[in-house]
């Protein structure tokens, strides 16, 4: 996080290569299109096995470019419960597209929670401005950056907790420089992140915030606050690749127009 914040490119590259080549990660380097080395399960915690298999699947499919990487992620996720990815695809992706359609072409997009980089790639592919995605898990940072490189999109994944990294929006794009924010990290933090966005003055008047998973696992404090502070709309729709599971996405105007 410090190397990224200070823009020490050489140090950050050294850290990324060390992570990719370590015995505990055994991932391809960020710029590599190679397959994942066999036997990585021996060294890597099992909660990361799925995302490493995703990298290998995308490499095997030779997916390059935004549309190809997005499609490969969706095909991988449809391969059964062991390959399911908690990403905002299908109907949820359509809601994101509608929000982005209301924004100017040069809109800076802030994403809270990169995970594997699916949404960052998809949003950047829609012809918006640059995407800045925050991610606290170092392995997910590496995976998301790998997908973005393959997708050849303008997006940046910043390591660290959202409340620590958020000031970069103002540092890089100025007050009122951000037009759209997509929150997909932790529902119990959505209201706090929204307050911080407003306190920083990061977003322009009329900008939008879209929050995923406000029903399951839920964001009760955010929804309660929105009753009194904002005009908001919650949309009921199924979870990606789980039609039987109802969820909500909540869209709001973060500031007065």
pLDDT in tens, 132-147: 999 999 889 989 999 9
Phi, psi of 225, deg, nearest 5: -65, -35
Rounded Cα distance between 257 and 60, Å, is 47
At 171 the pLDDT is 93
List of residues 6+ apart from 59 with CB closer than 8 A: 28, 33, 34, 35, 36
Place 116 in a pLDDT band, splitting at 50, 70 and 90.
very high
Q: Do residues 125 and 70 touch, judged by C-beta distance below 8 A?
A: yes
At 257 the pLDDT is 40
Where are the strands (E) in the chain, listed by range?
A: 108-112, 131-135, 155-159, 178-183, 203-211, 232-239, 242-253
pLDDT in tens, 46-100: 888 899 889 999 999 999 999 999 999 999 999 888 889 989 999 999 999 999 9
Cα separations in angstroms, 175 against 138, 190, 203, 224: 28, 21, 7, 27
Q: Which of 165, 255, 251 is nearest to 209 (CA)?
A: 251
List of domains in the chain: 2-77 (no CATH), 91-253 (3.40.50.150)
Q: Does 228 or 71 have the greater pLDDT score?
A: 71
Number of H helices, E strands in the chain: 11, 7
CA atoms within 13 A on the CB side of 60: 11
Rounded Cα distance between 219 and 249, Å, is 10
pLDDT in tens, 185-199: 999 999 999 999 999
Rounded Cα distance between 103 and 105, Å, is 6
CA atoms within 13 A on the CB side of 130: 11
Rounded Cα distance between 172 and 63, Å, is 31
Rounded Cα distance between 235 and 214, Å, is 10
Burial group, residue 86, by CB count within 10 angstroms (0-12, 13-18, 19+): middle
**Angle of helix 138-151 relative to helix 66-77, nearest 10 degrees?**
130
Burial group, residue 201, by CB count within 10 angstroms (0-12, 13-18, 19+): middle
């Amino acid at each position: 996080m410090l190397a990224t914040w200070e823009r020490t490119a050489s140090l950050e590259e050294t850290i990324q290569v060390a992570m990719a080549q370590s015995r505990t990660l055994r991932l391809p380097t960020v710029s590599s299109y190679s397959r994942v080395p066999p036997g990585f399960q021996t060294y890597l915690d099992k909660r990361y096995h799925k995302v490493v298999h995703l990298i290998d699947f995308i490499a095997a499919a030779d997916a390059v470019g935004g549309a190809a990487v997005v499609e490969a992620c969706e095909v991988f996720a449809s391969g059964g419960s062991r390959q399911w990815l908690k990403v905002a695809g299908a109907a949820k992706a359509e809601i994101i597209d509608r929000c982005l359609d209301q924004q100017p072409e040069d809109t800076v997009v802030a994403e809270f929670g990169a995970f594997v980089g699916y949404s960052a790639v998809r949003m950047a592919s829609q012809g918006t401005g640059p995407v800045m995605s925050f991610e606290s898990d170092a392995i997910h940072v590496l995976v998301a950056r790998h997908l973005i490189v393959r997708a050849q999109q303008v997006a940046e994944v910043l390591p660290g907790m959202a409340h620590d990294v958020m000031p970069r929006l103002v540092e890089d794009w100025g007050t009122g420089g951000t037009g759209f924010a997509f929150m997909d990290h932790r529902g119990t933090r959505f209201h706090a992140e929204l307050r911080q966005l407003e306190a920083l003055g990061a977003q322009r008047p009329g900008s939008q915030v879209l929050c995923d998973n406000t029903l399951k696992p839920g964001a009760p404090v955010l929804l309660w606050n929105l009753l009194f502070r904002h005009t908001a709309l919650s949309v009921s729709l199924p979870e990606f690749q789980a039609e039987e599971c109802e969820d909500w996405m909540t869209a709001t105007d973060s500031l007065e127009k």
